[in-house]
Structure 1
Amino acid sequence: MKATRHRARLAGIMAAALLLAGCSGPASVAERVERGLPTSLTEAQRSAVPWEQTSVLGLEDGSRFALITWGSSSCPTVVSTMEAVGTEGIEGIEGIELHLESSGGSGPCTADMAATTHELSFPDSVTARPITLTLVHAESDATSTLTLD
């Protein structure tokens, strides 16, 4: 009888773990994700960030960048993959393709508009400037581009 209860309890725990794992959404490849605008920005830099528009900023040492996305604060966008891409005939890699997905959140998504900052390092193979970032939006298959000088 005890073995049957133990198995039933274990099965319940495993089912709950699978349900929670299913709600976690895609993993982010960003080194750091923070709600809001980057805390390292000065007030002047913060006021220059376009409101409700995805944007990119180079960070202090030149080896990293911040992608700022806007959307639901309870289901923020996730950078699920990053890949260096180049143009044939041009020396050096000058592009990065980022795939963006909804995190799914842990419940219903709120209808607010909040910034999320994703800090990423440039792949070592990206040596040319300016850098073109191609954003691939998973939900709509739409793409958009940003340029970082």
Structure 2
Amino acid sequence: MKPFRFGTVAGAVAVVAGLFTLTGCATGLPGPGVFGDGSHAERVERGIPDGWEGPNPDLLDGVPVVGWVSDTEFGVVTMGSGSCPAVAGELQILGDDSVRIEFGQSPRNPCTADLRATTHIYQLPSEVAVRPVTVTVWYDDFDTEYTLELG
């Protein structure tokens, strides 16, 4: 086996291919949060944020959970790839006690094959003043809906 040399054509191709592989997970659409994936959440955090007041997610069942992050902010915790979490759509107000958020797949690729929690944080609109709040989470790509209660 010949040693790797930068001066060869094969060496240059290997370096360029390596750079594309490394940057594949680093690119994404503009958007808030640590992922830059076009999310419509106010912010996106890896894991569970400090001050979380809600149920702990079960990483293995994949069911999202909702909870309070502050007096006026709530989060939806989803499970999936740590580098390509679900992408949150705009918050839709359904009534004075209910909202709906649609989630889609990450535009990023390749993705890591791990399982991590990601929290998508929203400001609760002033029009939603009755508690508990029903949060409907819709996964567009899987045609799956969850109805969750935010106490």
Return the TM-score normalized by structure 2.
0.68
Q: What does residue 6 of structure 2 align with?
A: none
Q: What does residue 20 of structure 2 align with?
A: none
Q: What does residue 32 of structure 1 align with?
A: 43
Unaligned residue ranges in structure 2 (runs of 5+): 1-26, 31-36
Higher mean displacement: 130-139 or 30-39: 30-39
Shift of 1:65: 0.4
Shift of 1:110: 2.0
Shift of 1:124: 1.6
Does 2:90 match 1:81? yes
Which structure has the highest helix share of the two?
Answer: 1
The answer to whether the 8 A contact 1:24-1:103 is kept is: no
Change (3 A) 1:23 1:65: closer
The code of the aligned residue for 1:101 comes to G
- Kindly report structure 1 stretches of 4+ aligned residues shifted beyond 6 Å: none
The code of the aligned residue for 2:57 comes to P
The one of 56, 67, 70 equivalent to 2:66 is 56
Unaligned residue ranges in structure 1 (runs of 5+): 1-21, 87-92
The answer to whether the 8 A contact 1:94-1:127 is kept is: yes
Distance 1:131 1:28 in 2: 22
Distance 2:43 2:28 in 1: 21
Q: What does residue 122 of structure 1 align with?
A: 124
Distance 1:127 1:102 in 2: 31
Return the TM-score normalized by structure 1.
0.69
User: Whose RCO is larger (CA < 8 A, sep 6+)?
Assistant: 1
The one of 53, 72, 88 equivalent to 2:81 is 72
Shift of 1:31: 1.2
The code of the aligned residue for 1:76 comes to P
The answer to whether the 8 A contact 2:97-2:134 is kept is: yes
The one of 125, 135, 138 equivalent to 1:136 is 138
Shift of 1:142: 1.7
Q: What does residue 89 of structure 1 align with?
A: none
Aligned pairs, how many? Answer: 116
Does 2:106 match 1:95? no
